[in-house]
Structure 1
Amino acid sequence: MAVSVSGSALKWQGWAVGLSAVAALLVFAPLGLYVWAGDGSGGAPPPRAATADVRVTGCRVDAASRRVVAAVEAAGRPGGVGAYVVTVEFREQAEPVPGGRAAQALVKVPGVAPGAVERGEAVGPVWQAAAVPWCGVAAAEFTRAEPTPAAPAPGP
């Protein structure tokens, strides 16, 4: 048994295939270009977290004030001078207590040059006499310093 298809039905079928192909190009071409071009970073690794550049090097209770004091060190990043704002956390043990809140303090470490190490101190709460404190970095932010404009040359 032979099936007869009219010319106009074939014409509409061709249009449907053509429109489907154009729609597929509109959807998948941008995705293909994105994959082909990469993410635009030129293969550079993503910037590292500021917490990787800072650490607590000491944790003690000040004898006079009974406040806990954390010594913080910040290492400079390549590419320019900047400042770190470090959130230091003070607890009685290294592991956080579920649902518990730890005391925190901020310390700013300004003027950290690439390759240099700068230090600061975070002063925490008054500490119990019998308890040994634990100090750690809870968060850190790095801000690159704005370049200072050159002073104008003196006139004649």
Structure 2
Amino acid sequence: MSALKWQGWLVGLMGLAGLLVFAPLGLYVWASGGAAVPPPQPDVRVTSCRVDPASHRVAATVEATVGERGEGSYVITVEFRDRRTPGPATRTSQSLVRVPGLAPGSPSYAEAIGPPWPPGATPWCGVAGVETG
């Protein structure tokens, strides 16, 4: 009977040791598992939209500015169309522009190059999306 008594104590002590080791780890995982706050999105606008005379491709200059707490790199999707409001069958071209190291208080500029543009057609350029990257 004394062997059963020692086995009971041993199981109890092993359970207590397991709690002492794994409880803080579990609390750490639980506490750090909160939703991460995404960085604020920059204010992005197209400052110029033109057809390059040499290559006949449409080009857009993009300006990105971020607030006081937003730093980082962003990927901007620029869209090229022949009309400001697209029709139901309008196909658009898109270009990705990466703006690395955007710092608060100073705007960054990037150039988006689109497809070859037909002569006589006026292009429209706009921001289709902004992602962190």
Q: TM-score range by the shorter chain?
A: 0.5 to 0.7
Equivalent residues of 1:74, 1:84 under 8 A apart? no
Q: Secondary structure at the match of 2:89?
A: coil
Does the CA-based 8 Å contact 2:40-2:70 persist in structure 1?
A: no
Q: Given that residues 40 and 69 in structure 2 are in contact (C-alpha distance below 8 angstroms), is that contact kept between their aligned partners in structure 1?
A: no
Give the Cα separation in 1 of the matches to 2:87 and 2:59. 21
How high is the sequence identity, in percent, across the aligned residues? 54
Residue 68 of structure 1 aligns with which residue? 58
Q: Return closer, same or farther for 1:102/1:49 CA change in 2, 3 Å cut-off.
A: farther
> CA distance change for structure 1 residues 96 and 112 in 2, over 3 Å: closer, same or farther?
same
Q: What are structure 2's unaligned runs of at least 5 residues?
A: 1-36
Larger radius of gyration: 1
TM-score after normalising by structure 2? 0.66
How many residues are aligned here? 99
From the two aligned structures, give the one with the greater strand fraction: 2
Query: 1:10-21 counterparts in 2 under 5 A?
Result: none
Q: Name the CA distance, whole Å, in 1 between partners of 2:91 and 2:46.
A: 19
Of 111, 124, 129 in structure 2, the residue corresponding to residue 134 of structure 1 is 124
Aligned match of 1:4: none
Q: Are 1:81 and 1:111, in contact at CA under 8 Å, matched by a contact in 2?
A: yes
CA distance in 1, matches of 2:89, 2:40: 26
1:89 is aligned to 2:101: no
1:74-132 deviation per Cα after TM superposition (whole angstroms, max 9, x unaligned) = 00232252111111000011001213220110001111101210000000000011101
CA distance in 2, matches of 1:59, 1:133: 7
1:47 Cα deviation from its structure 2 partner: 6.8
Do the aligned partners of 2:39 and 2:70 also contact (CA within 8 Å) in 1? Answer: no
TM-score when normalising by structure 1: 0.57
Question: In structure 1, how many angstroms separate the alpha carbons of the residues matched to 2:116 and 2:52?
Answer: 9
**Match in the other structure for 2:44:** 54
Cα distance per residue 1:31-69 (max 9 Å; x no partner): xxxxxxxxxxxxxxx97973x611100000000000000
What is the RMSD computed on CA atoms of the aligned residues? 2.3
